[in-house]
Structure 1
Amino acid sequence: MRVQQLVLIFIVVLAIQVFSDSSIDDVLVRQDLLDVKHQTSFVNEKVTKQIDLSALVPTQRIEIKTTYKKKGDPSSYFVTFQKEMSDKIAFIKASMIDGSTLEIVRDDKQSINGYSVYSINFPKEESTKKFHFIVELDLINSQIPSPKTVTQKEDLFLVYADNIFFYTPYLTKTQKTEISFPSNFVKSHTKLTPTELKGNKLVCGPYKKINGFSHADLKVHFQNNQPLPRIKSLTKTLTVSHFGNLFVDEYYVISNEQAKLVGEFSRLDYSRNRQLSGRGSFQDVALHLHEKAYGFEYFDIIGNISTSQYTKTNDQTVINLKTRFPIFGEWKTDFHFTYNIPLKHALSKSKKTGLYRLTFPFGSSINAPIEDFEIKIILPEGTSKINAETPFGVDSQSFQVYNEFLDTTGRPVLVLEKKLLVPSHNQNIEIFYDLSFVDMWRKPILLVTIFFIVFCLIILISRINLSLYKSKRKQD
């Protein structure tokens, strides 16, 4: 009997130790995530979290009404994300409710253990301690096909997982979460009371008095028969010619991230009824280019592809391409698309610094997420003081040398690389560089010199008489 009691006591003590250790570890993770004092500096009066799963790129719009509870000027407001969400954030921005931009910066010192921490500093001229602002996210790799394989005529479904609550270090008095779907067919969803499904919208909450760093699983399984085009890689090459134009070469590798197509593919069924036999596939690709773009070429490894149309508007040129075959789940294709832009619409010169400024969109001409992006800017030979300014950070920046006809030292090439881009990254970048008068006219002068030497040689050669006829007459 005593032995049984001792064993029971030992088990109870061990269980208490295990549970106490796990709770301590959980507290330590939270304390390491942010300093405790920041958790009481703000109180969120109301939070509305809107998740849009109907678009190609899932987005979150988090509207926050918060109050600063300390004395003095407001300190930094911290926006935190769990590790499950951190790797899925491709783009983030913040703004006041009136539309004015707020600077949001990733805090690498406090972004540990897989968590992401961003800090927001409110305008100092604001005398109030109440703030109403919005945080917007563009997500990538956040939806998973389920089932992962389908036949040609089956419906397609996706699974999205998240935290119902806004994962914040501050107390939230009330919060509501809304999820929008591309269709009314939702197979299953989390049912944390109160939760209500209205058509293609799931409303969770409102929830009251939510402690900091609270978590409740959100999982939805919904129908989405739309294609999910993904640019696996894009290499954009810009060639600058001060005596010509701006030549652009875009090389795309595009895939479809929908469920993998298994079984036989019937071209006949696809041609008869694309809505039924082409679910989740695409064959048309739209490119949005500069309004002055011209000289288009569309080709792949086989050769020229003539199935394309274009329309011009006041602010852009839209090219509608048709791929050689429909792109179903996990299928892919690759192609080149080239065009020209008059240099005056992309290049200017500063009167103050004397530097040239090349302005061009950073991302893709196609509104789709990109896994690997590389842009190469081939500048004229002799270019110096090269500097790139981007509205966001890039993963790497390097220089190469490109040799073309009549080049002596080679043309400098600025290479910028970035992973995981979304259409929100399609913002203008600026490339500044210096090019002297001599370097600009180097090739024309070289060409004139070569032609002058050639003509002089021709004249000299034509005046040289190598025959012996005159010398014989003189001898006679």
Structure 2
Amino acid sequence: MGYGVEMGRPPAVVAVAMEAVFGSRGRCGSSSHHRRVFCSANVLLFALALCAVTAAAAATAVGDTSSAVGKLINTRIDRRIDLSTQFVKLYVTAKMENEGSAEVSEILLALPNQQAERLAYRTVKIGGNDGGGAALPVSAVVPAISGVDPALSKGITFFAVSLPSPLKSGGSLTLEIHCVFTRLLEPYPAEISQQDPQLVLYHDNHYFLSVYPTKTQVTKVSLFSPGVESYTKEEPTRKRDNEITYGFYHNTQPLAISPMRIHYENLAKFAVISNLVREMEVSPWGSVTVKEDYVIYNGGAKHKGTFSRLDYQLRPGASGAASFRRLFATLPPRAFDVYYRDEIGNISSSLLRGDSKKTELEVEPRFPMLGGWKVAFTIGYKLPLEDCVSVSKEDGRRVLTMPFGTPFEDAYVEDLTVEVALPEGAADMEPVVPAALQGAAGGGGGGDVSVFLSVKHAMLDITGRPVIVLKKTNVVAEHNVAFQVKYNFAAISMLRKPLLLISAVGAFFLACMVYARADFTISKSSPAYVARKQREEVIDAVQKVRAVLKSRVGLTRYLEASLKELTRKGEEGVAECKAVRAPVEEKLKETAKSIKSLVDRLESSGGRSIGLVAKVKDIIAKEKELQTQAVQKHVAMVEGYERKLAPREIDQRVEKIQQRLTALMTEVRDLLQALDE
């Protein structure tokens, strides 16, 4: 990586680059161990250096980069390279000074194409007391060199950093640069057995690649462990435990090249998520549902040979040391209804714990993840709506705020898709993507975020739910920042589904009513239609007979009630009791006529063929005898009280009548139940 372009002496820079590759310090076959490199690597590095110089000289012909032209120097470079994980994390503190007479408003950064293509995240800030903490805008530029083939400048990618205020002549500033690269560590050997440790190769430059001269620089490389197979040296070089220090180097020329090669042991998790689809569904009824579909593989050295689970269990530190058995996901603090499953079903080998700040989910696949092995699973959970959705004070729109990247911090995503399904009826949708998620244009590194709009149909939806789709490649933990989706949603829209459900249920019952009452028969002279009509008439007549008989039984009970009142009052209640019998007898005569007409209707409707008429007549006869006995009992008791007989004598007179009356009541009740059946 480098900064800016010094336009003073391009030929001298070329000479320095050539001497670095082919001169006495780096020539093939040199006796110095730390200068010994492969000839093919020398040729490649020379090509990269030449392309970088070519691109640097091209800035004289490009007006857009004229503000970066000036006599800038790096007074001090502190570079730290973290190789302790599967990522290459670069931290650079660059103190720069403008020794020219003109102001500089832009500074150029440079990366070899190999690193630029694998750049996942990048941020540039002004450090020291002048730094405000905000990332500076970074944009990709393609300088051209006047009079030289532009194809030679393809070896290096340049980025222009816009300063918040021009750097005046004699002024200085400090830049803080943080970069994260993926797939820069090469497993070597590429395949290992279950018992072998994992070794990786890392290639870089001993010097900080800069198009400005550097007065003083130092590089510290942090490794996974002290286990190092080999590493190149550029004196002064020191190794202590798991850290290698290169430098201090003084008065380094622009684009100075000295190949760095480190072959070391790295047993970190090389968890790579080849595809991740995050589905977020916003419900206006109180929750946000999140579903994440993962396809993960071990991107380290591929496993060769057989696998012994017994050996893996007995010697976890030595057998399959390059594999990983579990992953840790950091979820929002109030996540609930968390699940972890795959195509087979729920996976019980998981652990959930949390506090007020976070919820941690420990995920363990069904089998250990050795090099090249792949697994697919799904994680889901819900969040309270008030934790995710707020109302904007500016325009009154609702604002959904959610994390963008993966909750697994030790893994990166090759292809990420985020789908945000808003409630049906949402309008004026606007996704707000932070600059840290953008690529070269936004300064975030990696690819840009692509935004799409689609529609999703779910249960009881009419027009469908609007879906905001965000896509990005090469996503690391630094991209797990909050993004927002602004939208309008009327509260009345919440009644869509309840009203639709009520309307559907009402329409269903209405259809049932119409169906039960409508006649869909095509021919009314067919035997089936005639039989059905006769059956309906018989059922209707039987139901009416049953109703009349029940009303007559009710009259019997009414007479019994009047007798109980007579027993209580004695002679004083005789007149009142006699008055009750007359209307009852009149009512019995009327209902007897109704019963006769209903029996005639049954006979004409085909009731005789199914034996109903005989049953109905039997019930009518029993019920008529019941009414006769009830009236006789009533007459006998009233006469007994009129003649002033003793209660015991009255009971003796009606005892036989009462026995027959009770038996008839039981028979009539049973016959009515049989008629219902």
Taking structure 1 as the reference length, the TM-score comes to 0.88
Residue 323 (1) aligns with residue 323 (2): no
Tell me the distance in 1 between the aligned counterparts of 2:329 and 2:231.
36
Q: Is the 8 A contact 1:33 1:115 kept in 2?
A: no
Residue 432 (1) aligns with residue 465 (2): no
1:263-283 per-position Cα deviation (integer Å, ceiling 9, x unaligned): 121111111011011211111
Letter in 1 for 2:460: L
Q: Is the 8 A contact 1:287 1:365 kept in 2?
A: yes
**CA radius of gyration, larger in:** 2
Residue 307 (1) aligns with residue 349 (2): yes
Q: Is the 8 A contact 1:256 1:330 kept in 2?
A: yes
Tell me the distance in 2 between the aligned counterparts of 1:75 and 1:29.
19
Q: Is the 8 A contact 2:280 2:291 kept in 1?
A: yes
1:197 counterpart SS class: strand
1:325 counterpart SS class: coil
Aligned with residue 373 of structure 1, among 398, 416, 424:
416
Tell me the distance in 2 between the aligned counterparts of 1:66 and 1:380.
52
Letter in 1 for 2:190: K
Tell me the distance in 2 between the aligned counterparts of 1:66 and 1:403.
57
Moved more, 437-446 or 147-156: 437-446
**Over aligned residue pairs, what C-alpha RMSD do you find?**
2.9
Letter in 1 for 2:282: V
Residue 31 (1) aligns with residue 31 (2): no
1:378-393 correspondence to structure 2 within 5 Å: 378-391=421-434, 392-393=437-438
2:110 counterpart SS class: strand
Q: Is the 8 A contact 1:39 1:212 kept in 2?
A: no
Q: Is the 8 A contact 2:275 2:413 kept in 1?
A: yes
Change in Cα spacing, 1:406 to 1:155, as seen in structure 2 (3 Å) is same
Letter in 2 for 1:115: I
Tell me the distance in 1 between the aligned counterparts of 2:70 and 2:257.
18
Change in Cα spacing, 1:387 to 1:83, as seen in structure 2 (3 Å) is same
Tell me the distance in 2 between the aligned counterparts of 1:286 and 1:424.
16
Tell me the distance in 1 between the aligned counterparts of 2:432 and 2:134.
19
Residue 137 (1) aligns with residue 179 (2): yes
Greater per-residue strand proportion = 1
Q: Is the 8 A contact 1:40 1:170 kept in 2?
A: no
Aligned with residue 154 of structure 1, among 193, 196, 206:
196
Moved more, 443-452 or 457-466: 457-466
Equivalent residue pairs, number: 455
**Higher relative contact order (CA closer than 8 Å, sequence separation 6+):** 1
Change in Cα spacing, 1:205 to 1:351, as seen in structure 2 (3 Å) is closer
Letter in 2 for 1:243: W
Change in Cα spacing, 1:194 to 1:24, as seen in structure 2 (3 Å) is closer
Partner of residue 172, structure 1: 214
Q: Is the 8 A contact 2:87 2:184 kept in 1?
A: no
Tell me the distance in 2 between the aligned counterparts of 1:460 and 1:351.
53
Partner of residue 115, structure 1: 156
1:95-114 correspondence to structure 2 within 5 Å: 95-98=125-128, 100-110=133-143, 113-114=154-155
Q: Is the 8 A contact 1:145 1:158 kept in 2?
A: yes
Greater per-residue helix proportion = 2
Tell me the distance in 2 between the aligned counterparts of 1:226 and 1:73.
46
Tell me the distance in 2 between the aligned counterparts of 1:275 and 1:450.
63
Change in Cα spacing, 1:110 to 1:406, as seen in structure 2 (3 Å) is farther
Change in Cα spacing, 1:24 to 1:57, as seen in structure 2 (3 Å) is closer
1:192-341 correspondence to structure 2 within 5 Å: 192-341=234-383
Tell me the distance in 2 between the aligned counterparts of 1:223 and 1:39.
43
Tell me the distance in 2 between the aligned counterparts of 1:237 and 1:320.
21
Identical aligned residues as a percent: 27
Post-superposition offset of 1:52: 0.6
1:399-453 per-position Cα deviation (integer Å, ceiling 9, x unaligned): 2221111112221211111110110000000011122334332222222333344
Tell me the distance in 2 between the aligned counterparts of 1:26 and 1:196.
29
Change in Cα spacing, 1:233 to 1:135, as seen in structure 2 (3 Å) is same
Change in Cα spacing, 1:107 to 1:464, as seen in structure 2 (3 Å) is closer
Aligned with residue 422 of structure 1, among 453, 476, 479:
476
